[in-house]
Amino acid sequence: MVSRIPPSLNWLVDKRARTHGSILILEKEKSRYLESFEKAKNRLVRDLDALDLAIGLHEIKISPEKIPPNIKGRIENKLKHGELSKLIVEAIERNNNQEATAKEIRVYVAIRASLKLNREVTEESIRISIKNLIKYLCSKGKLVRIPYETRGPRRHYKIQK
């Protein structure tokens, strides 16, 4: 007689097999990403050494070790060129070009761009970047700001037709 495997155990076995398969796939991808990471890092180290050499050849002597690293934390550096503008317009278009507040646009952009907050990218930096880009798009005539009187205390924007 063959004993029947309970569905709960069958589910656990299946879940374990899928999880183990996912781990094996990640291990394969890890080596590929590590290789490209090492290549990129080596290229940057070579560039840094060349820059140090060029700084040493300059008539004004500066010790390269005294130059602090510059890690930019602006949101624009995390996205491809023009992607933030496209996401802002897309946030308004998703409502059939109905008005959207800056906060609604910010939430949409953060979700769609999968922005992760860290020391470089803060909520404040995202807010400022989007606010400045909305102002720029309004000045270029791509977006229009709805006056306060018609929509309450928050600014609303829509696409210029």
Last-in-domain residue among 70, 99, 118: 70
Give the whole-angstrom CA distance, residue 159 versus residue 92: 7
Residue predicted with more confidence, 116 or 127: 127
The mean pLDDT of 123-139, rounded to a whole number, is 85
State whether 100 and 141 are in the same domain: yes
Return mean pLDDT, the chain: 79
Is a pLDDT exceeding 70 seen at residue 11?
Answer: yes
Give the whole-angstrom CA distance, residue 132 versus residue 129: 5
Range(s) of the domain holding residue 29: 1-70
Query: Is residue 119 very low, low, confident or very high in pLDDT (cuts 50, 70, 90)?
Result: low
State whether 58 and 115 are in the same domain: no
A 10 A CB-CB count for 145 gives 16
- The per-residue pLDDT for range 45-88, each reduced to its tens digit, is 898 888 888 888 888 888 888 887 765 544 445 677 788 888 88
State whether 5 and 64 are in the same domain: yes
Helical (H) or strand (E) element with 39 = helix 7-57
Is a pLDDT exceeding 70 seen at residue 153?
Answer: no
Alpha carbon separation from 28 to 22, 31, 33, 39, 82 (Å, rounded): 10, 6, 9, 18, 33
Last-in-domain residue among 48, 70, 92: 70
Contact present, 119 and 66 (Cβ < 8 Å): no
State whether 81 and 151 are in the same domain: yes
Number of domains forming the structure of the chain: 2
| Structure-token pair, residue 131 | 């606010």
